């Protein structure tokens, strides 16, 4: 199903969906923050809010690199299969070429033994390129029917073998490039996670407790916003039911209440969504592992892909592609089963389960869990997509 997302002016909101805004100010280097954390007594230290933001930014950068890793891994896998297929084809064609060469050689040997004086067949065995063969095809007029057939077969096998060898060479070059991208993305993920761990390791026990308190306040605010969304959605559902009940007696053209809203998901979608959510719930408690697609661990897009696969719907591997694999709807009209995407660079995703809540694989060091879609603030929500 094609995406209905439209380009919008940065910094605005349309139907409850946060549009991409200008990138946030460049982050100060991890080295500088680490030095500050180790500063001598009396020197300025970053506030816990600054540390919390820095760690959060590093985790998001790690997720961004993870999605690039996922894309490179998928591309590398496909390219490796193509290379294997081409190399197998080259081996088969080489065998056929050798058989054709052997038959052609038998005619050349016979000409030599009988003293025919015109080793026409042998000239083709000396040809190294299709052009050589083309230049020598005029000698076919001096050959017998069986010789011509042997030459034609040899020419065909040699031309096709050369073609496949060239394709295999180009595919191997592409495979090398994608493997390089994979290696770079993997190193980036590992570096961002190491930087985050280093920052956290420099906190005192008291600072860690205060940081936990900050996180608790964020969760409480996220729960409040989720409850408010649930209330709004319940009111909308009640209004729809009342409109449907009154629809029979309404005059023609009066049913315009929902004209500006996205129609609710149909029963078929509801059935698939229920299967996807049931799968996601069964994964709760399993660890987040970047690049993982199950069954023992998942990253964010690996979980949503696996959940909808259980419902018979094939989603792309990465968040960048999943966000375009359905119809975009306003946050206020999110239905259970919809995908919730986060951040301007679309690097995180969860599966909506209703009442402002979702199931997602949050970040390294955590587990698949239920959480408010406002877990990182309402401004973090990028869009809601209905995938089927």
pLDDT digits (tens, 9 = 90+) for 247-258: 754 444 433 334
Q: What rounded mean pLDDT belongs to the chain?
A: 80
Range of 30-34, 151-155, 260-264, 322-326 with top mean pLDDT? 322-326
pLDDT at 9: 41
Q: What's the pLDDT tens digit per position in 224-278?
A: 999 999 999 999 888 888 888 887 544 444 333 343 455 556 678 999 999 999 9
Q: Show Cβ contacts of residue 179 under 8 Å, excluding neighbours closer than 6 positions.
A: 76
pLDDT at 75: 92
Determine if residue 312 is left, alpha or beta; phi over 0 gives left, psi from -120 to 50 gives alpha, anything else beta.
left
Determine if residue 114 is left, alpha or beta; phi over 0 gives left, psi from -120 to 50 gives alpha, anything else beta.
alpha
150 vs 71: which has the higher pLDDT? 71
Greatest Cα-to-Cα distance within the chain, rounded to the nearest angstrom: 105
Q: How far is CA 242 from CA 100, 185, 231, 251, 264, in A?
A: 80, 53, 17, 15, 15
Element housing 359 (H / E): strand 357-360
Q: How confident is the model at residue 57 (pLDDT cuts 50, 70, 90)?
A: very high
> Using CA atoms, how far apart are residues 310 and 295, in angstroms rounded to an integer?
12
The answer to whether residues 340 and 386 touch, using CB atoms and an 8 Å cutoff, is no
pLDDT at 93: 84
Q: How many CB atoms lie within 10 A of CB 6?
A: 8
> Using CA atoms, how far apart are residues 94 and 113, in angstroms rounded to an integer?
28
Q: Show Cβ contacts of residue 222 under 8 Å, excluding neighbours closer than 6 positions.
A: 371, 372, 374, 375, 376, 377
Q: Alpha carbon 266 to chain centroid distance? A: 27
> Using CA atoms, how far apart are residues 339 and 319, in angstroms rounded to an integer?
10
Q: Show Cβ contacts of residue 61 under 8 Å, excluding neighbours closer than 6 positions.
A: 188, 192
| 3-class secondary-structure state, position 360 | strand
Query: Mean pLDDT throughout 365-376?
Result: 96
> Using CA atoms, how far apart are residues 304 and 306, in angstroms rounded to an integer?
5
Q: How many CB atoms lie within 10 A of CB 242?
A: 11
Q: What's the pLDDT tens digit per position in 184-209?
A: 999 999 999 999 999 999 899 999 99
Annotated catalytic residues are: 300, 348, 360
pTM of the model: 0.70
């Amino acid at each position: 199903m094609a995406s209905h997302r439209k380009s919008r002016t940065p910094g605005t909101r349309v139907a409850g969906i946060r549009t991409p805004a200008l990138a946030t100010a460049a982050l100060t280097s991890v080295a500088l923050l680490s030095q500050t954390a180790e500063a001598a007594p009396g020197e300025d230290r970053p506030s816990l809010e600054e540390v919390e933001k820095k760690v959060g930014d590093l985790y998001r950068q790690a997720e961004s690199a993870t999605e690039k890793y996922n894309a490179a891994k998928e591309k590398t896998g496909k390219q490796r299969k193509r290379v294997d297929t081409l190399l197998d084809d080259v081996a088969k064609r080489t065998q056929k070429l050798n058989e054709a060469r052997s038959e052609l050689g038998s005619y050349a040997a016979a000409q030599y033994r009988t003293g025919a004086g015109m080793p026409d067949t042998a000239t083709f065995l000396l040809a190294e390129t299709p052009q050589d063969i083309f230049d020598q095809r005029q000698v076919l007029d001096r050959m017998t029917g069986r010789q011509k057939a042997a030459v034609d077969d040899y020419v065909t096998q040699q031309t096709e073998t050369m073609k496949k060898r060239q394709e295999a060479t180009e595919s191997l070059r592409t495979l090398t490039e994608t493997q390089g991208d994979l290696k770079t993305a993997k190193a980036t993920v590992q570096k961002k996670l190491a930087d985050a761990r280093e920052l956290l390791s420099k906190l005192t026990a008291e600072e860690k407790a205060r940081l936990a308190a900050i996180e608790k306040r964020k969760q409480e605010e996220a729960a409040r916003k989720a409850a408010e969304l649930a209330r709004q959605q319940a009111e909308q559902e009640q209004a729809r039911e009342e409109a449907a009940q009154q629809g029979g007696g309404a005059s023609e053209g009066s049913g315009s209440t929902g004209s500006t809203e996205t129609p609710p998901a149909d029963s078929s979608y509801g059935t698939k969504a229920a299967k996807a959510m049931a799968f996601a719930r069964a994964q709760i408690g399993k660890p987040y592992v970047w690049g993982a697609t199950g069954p023992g661990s998942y990253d964010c897009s690996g979980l949503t892909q696996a959940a909808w696969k259980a419902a018979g719907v094939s989603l792309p591997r990465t968040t960048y592609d999943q966000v375009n694999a359905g119809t975009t709807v306003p946050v206020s009209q999110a239905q259970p089963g919809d995908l919730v995407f986060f951040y301007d660079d679309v690097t995180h995703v969860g599966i909506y389960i209703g009442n402002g809540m979702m199931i997602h694989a949050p970040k390294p060091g955590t587990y698949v869990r239920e959480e408010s879609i406002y877990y990182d603030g309402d401004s973090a929500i990028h869009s809601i997509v209905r995938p089927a």
